[in-house]
Amino acid sequence: MALVCGIADERFSELYWKLRPPYDRGDIDGPAYWRAVVRQQELDLSRDQIATLIKLDSEGITRPNQDAVQWAELLHRAGIPLALLSNMPFELSRYVTKSFQSLSRFEYLIYSCDYRSIKPELAIYRNCLELLKVAPQDILYLDDRAENIEAAACLGINSVLFDTVEKTASRVENRFDIPVPSHGRCRQSNSQYRSTSRRSNRTEPD
């Protein structure tokens, strides 16, 4: 993407994330976002270049964490309702929904662009609570960013930091009665927790 934009890698990464919030929030669309990125370097893009950037962005940021996908499958088979909460712009969210069959396990796909709010803004978590129609204490929320965990916890949502599946499963097992992966086995549960998780396997370009 940096090459398409004509910007050095380090500077591109800086601009990519600096200007990302309005795009994830749905305040601007893909073409506006990419033009804003290159304008910082007094550059411009053709329509074909913009289309290429949107395509590369979608394909490059969506490499599934297969261990996380398998854990979601365990929870689904156990009858635990699942919801996905993710900061994603319109183009990326539609690509993800179309491309990954595993998302059919989730009752709700909550994308920031559809609610005009991004994590860790409290509004997006309030949107989730309203949509799920459950009390905060009945939700287990996993996220790979500490600031997002802290924001959700402010509203009384049970929140656990996600890093690796193994470490996260250990944290969850110590606090909640839900299935966790363990050496190919799964501890069973009768829990009624709703799990709202950011798709931490969204690999972010560094």
Give pLDDT < 50 ranges for the chain.
183-186, 188-206
How far apart (Å, rounded) are the C-alpha atoms in residues 163 and 73? Answer: 18
pLDDT in tens, 171-200: 999 899 999 987 444 454 444 444 444 333
Q: What is the per-residue pLDDT for 64?
A: 78
Q: What is the per-residue pLDDT for 60?
A: 86
Q: What is the per-residue pLDDT for 127?
A: 96
Q: What is the per-residue pLDDT for 65?
A: 84
Q: What is the per-residue pLDDT for 199?
A: 37
Q: What is the per-residue pLDDT for 190?
A: 46
Omega before residue 31 within 30° of 0, cis: no
Tokens of 30: 């893909």
Please state, in angstroms and as integers, the Cα–Cα distance from residue 141 to each residue in 44, 63, 86, 149, 182, following that order. Answer: 40, 21, 12, 8, 20
Q: What is the per-residue pLDDT for 43?
A: 97
Q: What is the per-residue pLDDT for 197?
A: 42
Instruction: Look at residues 50, 51, 53, 59 and name the one whose alpha carbon lies nearest to residue 95.
Output: 59
* List of E strands, the chain: 82-86, 108-111, 139-143, 158-161, 181-182, 185-186, 194-197
